[in-house]
Chains A and B, each alone.
Chain A
Amino acid sequence: MRKAFGPIAVLAGVLLVGAPFMVARAPYESTMGLVQKIFYFHVPSWFAMFTAIGVCGVASLIHLFRNNPRADRIAEAAGEVAVLFGLMGLVTGPLWGRKSWGVWWQWDAKLTIALLLEMTFISGILVRKYGGPGSDKLAAAVGIFGLAVTPFVYEAVNIWRTIHPLTSVVPTLPASMGAPFWFCVAAFMLLMVLLLMVRVNLGKRQAALDELYLAYED
């Protein structure tokens, strides 16, 4: 994994630097105009969050049933990265909505459930920080719950009537919009993997420090 870090970092850097140029060259959307270009960072940030939640959920399951510290470290890192990308989605969305809908926020199903998902993973971080002994298991349960909720967040626009654009806009994108969009998705996914690796490494060092403290006390 350590060997892969360099190439992933270079590739992510190239894609992230190229992304704004791709977005600038993308055509304007007919009804929303310039502000619709937030879409090219907004949706990939949710995709990256959902992927991080997937990693967190699976690692949480492994830790919960097999008591695996490595899986716990991955779950902790992925939960934190999920919060970061969720925050990006929750900030860029209202900036887009203010111009398109005339309001910063609407308490409709899609937006509300997305906010709840973000709060679920923030609660996971708080549980780990202040939960005391056994908080890793509790945080794992929160991670699994978050994973179970995620399909509803994605499908909310198709299940309930909301003002948010439908999921069908992505598969029906014309090539001129699809190319920059998938370019940005690739950039965000690589960024997510990169941040996850860095954060897992931090967890590994923290575990090594805890072991040193235990050895020192003995």
Chain B
Amino acid sequence: MRLHRLLIALTLFVLIALPAFALQPPTGQSEFVPVESLPAADQLPAAPLLVTAYAFVWIAVMVYLWSIWRRLNKVEDEMRALAQKAPHR
């Protein structure tokens, strides 16, 4: 009878203890390994890239328009200078 009780107690202990062992968290990191760089997805936020892309488009258009305006002014200045010279000939 005593043995029977002992067996039941042991069985209950094993049944309760097993899930407890099974549900243990994974073992902690035992060492740190240095790497040269993080994966790209971890180190780069998307917003600055997006803003840079859109800003570049606008800046490129503005610079191009400015370059046309400058060249046009140069041509007009030359035409005016030529027109001023022409009557004196």
Given the interface pairs A99-B44, A102-B40, A216-B86, the reply to whether A35 lies near B60 with Cβ below 8 Å is: no
Nearest-neighbour CB distance to chain B for A138, whole angstroms, equals: 22
Tell me the bound Cα distance from A28 to B62 in angstroms. Answer: 29
Question: Which partner residue on chain A sits nearest B89 by CB separation?
Answer: A216
Tell me the bound Cα distance from A84 to B57 in angstroms. Answer: 9
With contacts defined as CB atoms under 8 Å apart, how many contacts are there between chain A and chain B in the complex?
Answer: 83
Chain B neighbourhood of A191, CB < 8 A: 61
Nearest-neighbour CB distance to chain B for A71, whole angstroms, equals: 20
Contact: A198 with B68, CB < 8 Å? yes
Given the interface pairs A91-B53, A216-B86, the reply to whether A99 lies near B72 with Cβ below 8 Å is: no
Query: Is the C-beta of A20 less than 8 angstroms from some C-beta in chain B?
Result: yes
Contact: B41 with A209, CB < 8 Å? no
Contact of A34 among B50, B76, B78, B85 (CB under 8 A): B50
Chain B neighbourhood of A38, CB < 8 A: 49-50, 53-54
Given the interface pairs A84-B64, A202-B68, A209-B75, the reply to whether A35 lies near B56 with Cβ below 8 Å is: no
Tell me the bound Cα distance from A41 to B59 in angstroms. Answer: 13
Nearest-neighbour CB distance to chain A for B3, whole angstroms, equals: 63
Q: Count A-side interface residues using an 8 Å CB cutoff.
A: 34
Nearest-neighbour CB distance to chain B for A54, whole angstroms, equals: 20
Query: Is the C-beta of A208 less than 8 angstroms from some C-beta in chain B?
Result: yes
Tell me the bound Cα distance from A45 to B85 in angstroms. Answer: 45
Chain B neighbourhood of A103, CB < 8 A: 40
Question: Which partner residue on chain B sits nearest A36 by CB separation?
Answer: B46
Contact: B79 with A208, CB < 8 Å? yes
Chain A neighbourhood of B52, CB < 8 A: 95
Q: Scan A207-218; emit 1 where CB is below 8 A from any B CB, else 0.
A: 011001100100
Question: Which partner residue on chain B sits nearest A33 by CB separation?
Answer: B46
Contact of A206 among B44, B50, B75, B86 (CB under 8 A): B75
Question: Which partner residue on chain A sits nearest B86 by CB separation?
Answer: A216
Query: Is the C-beta of A96 less than 8 angstroms from some C-beta in chain B?
Result: yes
Contacts from B to A (Cβ < 8 Å): 39-41, 44, 46-47, 49-50, 52-54, 56-57, 60-61, 64-65, 68, 71-72, 75-76, 78-79, 82-83, 85-86, 89
Could you list 22 examples of A-B contacts with CB < 8 Å?
Answer: A33-B46, A37-B50, A38-B49, A42-B53, A84-B60, A84-B61, A88-B60, A92-B57, A95-B56, A96-B53, A98-B44, A98-B49, A99-B49, A102-B40, A191-B61, A195-B65, A199-B68, A205-B79, A206-B71, A209-B75, A212-B82, A212-B83
